Amino acid sequence: MEKIRVLIADDQTITRSGLQMLLSTQENLEIVGAGRDGQEAIALADALQPDVILMDLHMPEVNGIDATRRIHRTSPQIGILILTIFEDDTSVFPAMRAGARGYLLKNTEQDELLRAIQTIASGGAIFSPGIAQKVLGYLNAPQPKLAATDLFDELTEREREILELIAQGKTNAEIAIQLSLSPKTVSNYISNVLLKVQATDRAKLMLMALEAGLGKQKL
């Protein structure tokens, strides 16, 4: 069984050391690097291509949300798990829109953190209980009418390609074949898009795409 390759990004030395100590005891995890700020996180992510990044939010040079956005745009296959002390709406939702697949508080129990890393590495999403309630409220809230350029401005080029194919009525299997991706990878992309554009399911996502004028282009 291949180890899950983890990158840590946190400006607090004691936090980085604590996470490294905890994760180093797990046989299925491998710590590939540790960055002291968002800029280092971006550089290390590009060079090391980890499976999962544990990302702090408030860091010098480049903050965690901007680092998440930049990493997600160039390496969307990397799962980013926000690990922070902040649980306010101004931190949670921007992190989701930037491409984070999970959001945990730093007082999370060790077992929960380890389970979250496994989930993110497998392509899933995970949130602390209190954060999960915010996410559910976010997804169920009425969606304002926005222009396509505003509604989908946080999507990566690949996510836009997949959204276009969804609007054309393509299935996950058909999208996977057309873009030479695995069905699991397509599913992961769609999960990211659902979170970013506040759609509760694929049907609503397709409707939103059609209303925005997608589905006419032939890729």
pLDDT, tens digit, for every residue of 119-138?
999 888 888 877 777 666 65
Q: Which residues constitute the domain of residue 124?
A: 4-138
Give the C-alpha distances (Å, rounded to integers) separating 25 from 18, 20, 28, 29, 174: 11, 9, 9, 8, 42
In a domain, 219, yes or no: no
Do residue 50 and residue 106 come from a single domain? yes
pLDDT of 216 > 60? The answer is yes
Q: CA-CA distance, 83 to 4, in Å (whole number)?
A: 17
Q: Provide the number of structural domains found in the chain.
A: 2
Last residue of a domain, one of 118, 138, 158: 138
Q: CA-CA distance, 35 to 42, in Å (whole number)?
A: 9
Contact 53, 80 (CB under 8 A): yes
pTM score, two decimals? 0.68
Q: CA-CA distance, 69 to 97, in Å (whole number)?
A: 8
Instruction: For residue 3, give every residue at least 6 positions away whose Cβ sits within 8 Å of its Cβ, in sequence order, or none.
Output: 27, 28, 29, 30
Last residue of a domain, one of 100, 115, 138: 138
pLDDT digits (tens, 9 = 90+) for 133-150: 766 665 555 555 544 445
Q: Tell me, what CATH number does 202's domain have?
A: 1.10.10.10
User: pLDDT value at position 219?
Assistant: 46
Q: Beta strand pairing status for 126-127 and 4-9?
A: unpaired
Q: Tell me, what CATH number does 112's domain have?
A: 3.40.50.2300
pLDDT digits (tens, 9 = 90+) for 13-68: 999 999 999 999 999 999 999 999 999 999 999 999 999 999 999 898 899 999 99
